[in-house]
Structure 1
Amino acid sequence: MINTLSLTPIIQDISLPSPEQQIFPDWEYANEYQLWVKRDDLIHPIVSGNKWRKLRYTLEQAVSTGVRHIVSFGGGHSNHLHALGYACNSLNIKLTAIVRGHFHSNLTPMLQDLVAWQADVQFVDRKTYQLRDDKTYLASLAQQYPNAMFIPEGGSSEFALAGVADIISELTQRYDYLLTPVGSGGTLGGLIHGAMNQPEPLHTKIIGIAVLKGDGYLEELVGKLLSSRATLPSQVITPQPIADWHINHQFHFNGYAKASPELHQFCQTFNEALSIPIEPVYSGKLFWAVKELMAKKAFTAGSKILLLHTGGLQGARE
């Protein structure tokens, strides 16, 4: 029976809490700060980083309500679809992946994995994909896929906020700054949500590093998520009225999944020097941004800075 399903096939390989690792990169003025990395990339070999955080409570909801079909959206190198494809295959839930672009004759490694995990992959052009949040388009998909659960691009639903908020509760020390890459807004929204659900003010500046051109748009996404946020699954305390956060739009390298030769070289050098895998789509832009901001002395001297490694290396696969 469907009610006997659980998340055990995935949870048995989940490693939480993820470690907080101090690093000592050879960057200008880096010795004036304490730099730490929250290694969410180590949570799971496939459903890693913010993908597990954002999908955990969504999948629990799907299992508890007997969902047998999930529909979601992403590009040809989507970390979200990759994690969701593995999870659905493990839980015996059908996945329909609506993918931006036409990769019929040239499947990316991520798409090859989805096919191997028996996902139904549907390619759409960019114009159609832009309708992924349009109510009329979603209504037509709901008719095409009756009884399916729809998960937004990147997994950034209200359930995602509760999962990401767990990061704040896991922290073993206080940080002056917490930085994360921002693509669909769910991770940043979850961190803000977590900060607002602490017994005392966090006193941590939360900074999102935009990985795409989205000045204003990303802030709107985060605002919408926070306005509809779900209650934390754990006991809720009196929430803080506000969290100190903003999004920096200076380091997107002209768009999503776009990168310069310098960024590619930076990722390779970082990987070799510190043995922490990063890629140019998300984590590479985060670490590059921090390096540049340190060089400009944008942080208070002596401050303790935490970088959230959100996992996902599909952007580095050939």
Structure 2
Amino acid sequence: MGVPSLFLFYYPNIMKASAPVQLLQDPLFATKGVQVYLKREDLLHPTIPGNKWRKLKYNLQAARESGKNTLLTFGGAYSNHIAAVAAAGREFNFRTIGYIRGEAHLTLNPTLTFATNCGMQLHYLDREAYRLKNTPFFLEKLRHEYPEAYLLPEGGTNLLALKGCAEIVPDITVAYDYLLCAAGTGGTLAGIIAGLAGEKQVIGFPALKGGAFLKEDIVHLVTHYTGQTYDNWELQTQYHFGGYAKIKPELVAFIQYFRQQHQVPIEPIYTGKMLYGLYDLIRNDYFKPNTAIVAIHTGGLQGLAGLEERLGVRLT
């Protein structure tokens, strides 16, 4: 029996995770005559939820098949990806190393506390050094220092991540016209576009200011993965609220409303901005009556405690 089969034998549920689709009831939707569903990827895995599980799934298999015993990756101090890799290491018996953007602090925030509790070894890079993390010199240095490590990019986006994210599409159990997703590095969105293969319509909501640059990145990812280009998708770039991790009072108020109306927690970095944008588009008649929309809840809830602590606002 080969290594891939052994991996699936010991971790049989790694290929079987599925997330429910929840119909959202809201007076706005009834007034405008649209149906809105939330794909609850946040419920996909207890400690590696949402798009992070999708992105890591095939990378974990590849790491084991290649004989690596360590996962090495990069991220900010509140990174969902850092937390997910740390949790994956603990669950699937990998050593984990995280290179963190910024200076070390004596008191760790909740994200980094969770990562260290999972056994992750943290290293810190100032912002100038962090910008060099993808250069051939730096990567070769890491490979020499950690020959047993499987390197994961910041955010987890690579072609194996696209393979996992493409599986969101067949996991949707309702009929729909539009599929909506937040975008950071663009990997989840690219995987969805690849999975749809030109069907339906896709709208991405970049979390970063000036997010139009993601279009080129997404086209490159999709083309490299599928050998095809598709024109059934677009980016709505005006819902960044000032940039990545920037939060304004109207976004906080919306997140609190959404939690009260639907009993679903969301965070303000990705899913909160995407859903705020969805409500705004519906309010302004972007969608025709009788349109069915599925919005992807990509998780990220582990960061809520740290954000509340840092910003001094209540989001839950």
Alpha carbons of 1:30 and 1:245: their partners in 2 closer, same or farther (altered >3 Å)? farther
Report the residue type matching 2:209 in the other structure.
Answer: K
Match of 2:311 in 1: none
Alpha carbons of 1:88 and 1:97: their partners in 2 closer, same or farther (altered >3 Å)? same
Match of 1:225 in 2: 221
CA distance in 2, matches of 1:128, 1:29: 51
Matched, 1:276 2:264: yes
Which residue of the other structure, out of 271, 293, 306, is the alignment partner of 2:281?
A: 293
The percentage of counterpart residues that share the same residue type is: 36
Structure 1 or 2: more helix by fraction: 2
Match of 2:292 in 1: 304
CA distance in 2, matches of 1:176, 1:151: 34
Give the superposition deviation at 1:240. Answer: 7.3
CA distance in 2, matches of 1:7, 1:35: 35
Give the superposition deviation at 1:219. Answer: 1.5
CA distance in 2, matches of 1:165, 1:102: 36
Where do residues 93-132 of structure 1 align in structure 2 (5 Å cutoff)? Answer: 93-132=94-133
Give the superposition deviation at 1:228. Answer: 2.7
CA distance in 1, matches of 2:95, 2:36: 42
Number of equivalent positions? 304
Match of 1:266 in 2: 254
Alpha carbons of 1:244 and 1:13: their partners in 2 closer, same or farther (altered >3 Å)? closer
Which residue of the other structure, out of 203, 206, 210, is the alignment partner of 2:202?
A: 206
Match of 1:33 in 2: 34
Match of 1:57 in 2: 58
Give the superposition deviation at 1:113. Answer: 1.0
Match of 1:75 in 2: 76
Matched, 1:244 2:232: yes
CA distance in 2, matches of 1:112, 1:166: 31
Whether the 8 Å CA contact 1:41–1:312 is kept in 2: the answer is yes
Relative to structure 2, which stretch is displaced further, 88-97 or 178-187?
Answer: 88-97
Q: Any idea what SS the aligned residue of 2:73 has?
A: strand
Relative to structure 2, which stretch is displaced further, 126-135 or 287-296?
Answer: 126-135
TM-score normalised by length of structure 1: 0.88
CA distance in 1, matches of 2:17, 2:59: 18
Where do residues 12-27 of structure 1 align in structure 2 (5 Å cutoff)? Answer: 12=13, 16-27=17-28
Alpha carbons of 1:62 and 1:30: their partners in 2 closer, same or farther (altered >3 Å)? farther
Match of 1:253 in 2: 241
Report the residue type matching 1:215 in the other structure.
Answer: G
Relative to structure 2, which stretch is displaced further, 22-31 or 168-177?
Answer: 22-31
Relative to structure 2, which stretch is displaced further, 181-190 or 218-227?
Answer: 218-227
Whether the 8 Å CA contact 1:18–1:42 is kept in 2: the answer is yes
Alpha carbons of 1:67 and 1:113: their partners in 2 closer, same or farther (altered >3 Å)? same
Matched, 1:163 2:164: yes
Q: Deviations over 1:156-192 (max 9, x none)?
A: 1100111011111122233111110000111001001
Alpha carbons of 1:8 and 1:73: their partners in 2 closer, same or farther (altered >3 Å)? farther
Whether the 8 Å CA contact 2:17–2:45 is kept in 1: the answer is no
Whether the 8 Å CA contact 2:184–2:207 is kept in 1: the answer is yes
Q: Deviations over 1:128-170 (max 9, x none)?
A: 2222332332222222222321111111110011101111112
Whether the 8 Å CA contact 1:24–1:30 is kept in 2: the answer is no
Alpha carbons of 1:268 and 1:85: their partners in 2 closer, same or farther (altered >3 Å)? same
Where structure 2 has 5 or more consecutive residues not aligned to the other structure, the ranges are: 307-316
CA distance in 2, matches of 1:305, 1:106: 43
CA distance in 1, matches of 2:214, 2:140: 24
Where structure 1 has 5 or more consecutive residues not aligned to the other structure, the ranges are: 232-238
Whether the 8 Å CA contact 1:195–1:243 is kept in 2: the answer is no
Q: Deviations over 1:255-296 (max 9, x none)?
A: 111110221121122112211110111111011010111111
Alpha carbons of 1:22 and 1:240: their partners in 2 closer, same or farther (altered >3 Å)? farther
